Amino acid sequence: MAFLLGILFLLTFTTYARYGFNTDEHVGLSRASRWWTFFASDGKDVTSSDIDLFHGPGPDAIALVLQELIPGLSYDSRHLVCALFGVSGIWFTYQLGRRFAGEWIGFFAALFLTLTPMWFGNMFLNHKDIPFAALMVASSYLSLRALVDARVSRLHWLKTGLAIGLLTATKATGLLAPPLIVAVFIACLRYVPRPEDRPELPEDFARRVSLMLFVAVLGVLASLFVFWPQLFLNGLSEWHGFMSPGRHGGWSGLYPIKYVVITTPAYILLLGALGAGLATFRRNATIVASAIVFAAIFLGAASVGAQAYGGSRHFLFAYPFLMVVAAYPVAFALERLSGSLARNGLIGAIVLCAASTIYQMYRLFPYEYSFYNVLVGGIRGADGKYDIDTWRTAHREALEKIEGRIPPGSVVRVFSCGPKIDFRMHPQIARTRNQKRADYIISLRKGRECLAEQFEGLPTVVEVQRDGVVFRTAPATSSTSQPRLKTSANLPS
């Protein structure tokens, strides 16, 4: 596990600046800037527009503080902070499996989460869903331990309150989930095992529940004070968007789980199915609880008509529980296989599967979240049917290719529907909303005004592609003597 964490930290600090900015990052930056302005003005600026409790400013605020402390990080500080949240989510997944199911289950759960491209790719750029997912598993694990461990230190209670407070700073409505998750685990720990194997709850369980509520309230109040100080001055009267369901369109009940099935490595799905069946047969409480939580998240969202888009990224907080379930049959087999040949064969099979996923993620870098498994023929089979580069982060690479063609000291105009932050990173490139005045156009398959079909006939100068699938192209226009660059990241709608 120490080796895995070392690799994760090495990858984080060497590659975080290679990832493009997503289409929502300018909104998070604006939210954090308003928070910063409030404190910089000594509380005189109480503007609260564009700040809501549904999308908390916590991760964005931390990134902005880091950017102020280390200006050289610039806007990439957001990716570094997000990636570290992702690593912490992997760590707490390990801790959850290790503490309640066994060392090997914890390790393989962490390994499988690392090798899930949807998690690994999003953890470098998804500043909303990855911190929320990491803090969800952290607060659930810490709360569960606080309620069932034989002895609980004051430091543990402090960490639990801190995790709950930070969870509030990502999505306040997420506070509803940890109590339900913890309740499922406690019920399974109490009633799933055979009578002779059932653990007893601590004698002071009721007192611990009361103390849990106390530290949770303190954590939430501290989070509100730090990240939403305007709330204590304005109240809720001037706040906008406390919850904003319906703003991003609807989904059918099968939409998110469908994306989990086609974007998760197939061997992890197979192990997950085996793990759920085996745990039910052998009455393993932790694995059964993890399977129930994973399934309940999707069923619950469907029952209330929750909104989702962009594949399964809104459900990243469910992935750690799937990985705990998938780790169970591997750990079970390792513990019971006799003879080095059988054990080495199993380990070899896992290594081959892991190596295959790593190779595919390497070929997609830095767009690992566009991974599709063999059930749909990989990314080539998904091209034209499912979203490719749904975050449109290939826009950054497209601008870099354009910049490489610009003579020193000159400035060109680019028309695109890509992320706004990208242009701040390239002083030689000016963004224009007038297509006729543009020197270069970045065309997409997504984004109305930038759909690739509108620019047919223009010469394509640069393409951004991975594994034969075009992410972005750039055509050139006739407003300059330079050839027009048609940069398009072909994004199936």
Tokens of 43: 């509380």
What's the pTM? 0.90
Look up residue 410 and give its two tokens.
């000159």
Q: How confident is the prediction along the chain (493 residues), in pLDDT tens digits per residue? A: 999 999 999 999 999 999 999 888 888 888 888 888 877 777 666 554 445 567 788 999 999 999 999 999 999 999 999 999 999 999 999 999 999 999 999 999 999 999 999 999 999 999 989 999 999 999 999 999 999 999 999 999 999 999 999 999 998 888 889 999 999 999 999 999 988 788 888 999 999 999 999 999 999 999 988 888 777 665 554 444 443 333 333 444 567 888 899 999 999 999 999 999 999 999 999 999 999 999 998 888 777 666 666 678 889 999 999 999 999 999 999 988 877 888 889 999 999 999 999 999 999 999 999 999 999 999 999 988 888 888 889 999 999 998 888 888 889 999 988 888 888 888 889 999 888 888 898 887 777 777 777 787 788 888 888 888 888 777 665 444 343 444 444 333 2
Strands (E), 325-406: none
CA 57-61-63 angle, to 5 degrees, is 130
Token couple for 264:
């998760």
Whole-angstrom distance, CA of residue 430 vs CA of residue 424: 9
Q: Give the span between the Cα atoms of 7 and 23, in whole angstroms.
A: 29
Secondary-structure breakdown of the chain: helix, strand, coil percentages, each rounded to the nearest 5: 60, 5, 30
| Phi, psi angle pair for 146, to nearest 5° | -65, -30
Check residue 316 and report its DSSP letter: G
CA distance 141 to 147: 10
